[in-house]
């Protein structure tokens, strides 16, 4: 049996303390357990950063994960709370130790165990400019779709 999370939305709490005449549905939502590696797809809404051509996978595991690559370290923090996920991802330059980019989403909604959706803010930085490091900023719709791996014929 899969883990299930039960979460009351803010409007449900208002309805619980209100009367039945408010016409509220007070049945709590049941959310699927969400976890694993997710492939991001960014759609720009505002700002001047433009398209996000390459994006790092997001590991949803209620933890902070640091992935080390040749030129950068990618630090991803996720917190699963009910039917929402908080996500923050920082890409840090290994040579300078400075942040190259940061993506932050305060409320990504669980659309099912294989998909999350919400709005995030992306900020890119110039790692060589200490006085004026931010080069662009923007808001993006983010869709996270669960990645699947095939190992020895078995889908994981």
- Looking up tokens 């659309």 gives 111
DSSP line for 6-53: EE--HHHHHHHHS-GGG----PPEEEE---EEEEEEEEEEEES-----
Q: In this predicted model, which residue has the larger pLDDT, 17 or 124?
A: 124
Summarize the confidence of residues 116-130 as an average pLDDT.
88
Q: Tokens for 156?
A: 């994981």
What is the torsional sign of CA 7, 13, 16, 20? negative
pLDDT in tens, 58-84: 999 999 999 999 999 999 999 999 899
- The Cα 115–Cα 75 span in angstroms is 21
pLDDT at 142: 95
The phi and psi torsions of 41 (rounded to 5 degrees) equal -130, 120
Q: Tokens for 101?
A: 């980019």
DSSP state of 61: S
pTM metric for this prediction: 0.73
């Amino acid at each position: 049996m899969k883990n299930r999370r039960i979460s009351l939305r803010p409007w449900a709490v208002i309805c619980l303390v209100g009367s039945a005449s408010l016409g509220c549905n007070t049945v709590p939502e049941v959310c699927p357990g969400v976890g694993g590696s997710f492939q991001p797809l960014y759609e720009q809404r505002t700002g001047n950063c433009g398209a996000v051509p390459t994006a790092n996978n997001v590991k949803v595991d209620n933890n902070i994960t640091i992935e080390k690559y040749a030129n950068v370290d990618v630090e991803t923090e996720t917190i699963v709370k009910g039917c929402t996920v908080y996500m923050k991802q920082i890409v840090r330059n290994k040579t300078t130790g400075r942040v190259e980019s940061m993506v932050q989403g305060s409320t990504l909604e669980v659309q099912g165990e294989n998909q999350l959706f919400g709005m995030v803010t992306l900020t890119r930085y110039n790692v060589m400019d200490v006085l004026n490091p931010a080069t662009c900023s923007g808001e993006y719709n983010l869709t996270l779709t669960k990645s699947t791996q095939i190992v020895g014929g078995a889908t994981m």
